[in-house]
Amino acid sequence: MKRKFIASGLLAVCAAAASAQNISGAGATFPYPIYSKWFNEYSQIHPDVKINYQSIGSGGGIRQVTEGTVDFGASDATMTDQQLHDAKVKVTAIPTVLGAVVPVYNLPGVNQELKFTDDAIAGIYLGKITKWNDPYIAKENPGVNLPDANILPVYRSEGSGTTFIFTDYLSKVSPLFKSTIGTGAAVKWPVGIGQKGNEGVAGMIRQSKFSFGYVELIYATQNHMQFGTVRNKAGRFVKASTDTVTAAAAADAKTIPADYRVSITNAAGPDSYPISSFTWLLIPTVAKDPAKGKALVEFLNWMLEHGESEATGLTYAPLPKAVADRVKQTVGTLR
């Protein structure tokens, strides 16, 4: 009898192990803080589901999910028509939260919050503005003792959704930037130094005097970095926050297409922060492993019902209700 109980116990353990789902994902660093929180919380609620996510950049996320080497990807850049056409695995883009890319800087002795025009930011990365006391910067920051020091631009070295958002914005506001550098997850920068991930850019700026770069808002706040306000389409200098990112999304909410491939950079409205964006999970439309596909759908429904409420605590903006309702319908089509 005792042996039967032991055998039954072993069978139960084996069955539980067989039903456990180890789900792998890779991609954007932009939403990594909120994804890490969600995946950990979900695994605590559902111990049979483990979601392992590698923060390798949007380019890597798109590549790995479309080649079928991970169960899902993540990107801050919308997939191009060519990428969708070439994909070995058909994917559905699921918007998750919204965030902001902010201009960060390291200026010893300057404690004021700087104002940056679109011309100034574009000029720095074009190599046209090389000094911190350049008139394009000084004009909008009267009374600030800007140093006569060279600016060190820092950028992402790998394919990056953060770079896509940043260059998408600059291409909209600067014809010269558009024709010289253009929009892309990976572009050829004429000046500066590259670093991997939002973490790498933040780290380089923190240790390098007179540097300037771009990171997702939470990386600036968590690392106690100075970041400036940016002039928006309405001509106002706006600071990145959940409210100003939400305003940008609301301004363009009616133009969001069925596949959610939309850009909300340089959005209209007096309160819109101009370097705002959705970020997306890339889910195979038909899962290679039906059990993993079912687990992912259950996670996405939990995210929409519970996870969104946690976004603001990490300086992300939750999906507008109208968008979240549409996303829930889309999730229902996944298999």
The domain limits of the chain are: 24-99+276-331, 101-255
Task: Give yes or no on whether 24-99+276-331 and 101-255 have one common fold.
Answer: yes
Q: What is the pLDDT of residue 188?
A: 96
Q: What is the pLDDT of residue 16?
A: 42
For domain 24-99+276-331, give its CATH number from 1.10.150.120, 3.40.50.150, 3.40.190.10, 3.40.50.300: 3.40.190.10
In order of 13, 72, 86, 335, the CA distances from 289 in angstroms are 22, 12, 21, 10
Whose structure tokens read 């004021």? Answer: 112
Instruction: Report d(CA 132, CA 227) in Å as an integer.
Output: 15
Q: What is the pLDDT of residue 8?
A: 45
CB 204 within 8 A of CB 211: yes
CB 274 within 8 A of CB 233: yes
Neighbours of 88 (CB within 10 A): 9
Secondary structure tally for the chain: helices H, strands E: 13, 13
Instruction: Quote the tokens at residue 31.
Output: 């939403």
Helix (H) or strand (E) holding 18: helix 2-19
Instruction: Report d(CA 158, CA 300) in Å as an integer.
Output: 28
Shortest CA distance to 335 belongs to which of 45, 89, 74, 52? 89
Instruction: Quote the tokens at residue 245.
Output: 């990112």
Predicted structure pTM score: 0.87
Shortest CA distance to 50 belongs to which of 58, 62, 41? 41
- Name which CATH class applies to 101-255: alpha beta
CB 272 within 8 A of CB 233: yes
Q: Residues of the chain whose pLDDT is less than 50?
A: 1-18
Q: What is the pLDDT of residue 227?
A: 97
Q: What is the pLDDT of residue 278?
A: 94
Shortest CA distance to 240 belongs to which of 198, 273, 269? 273
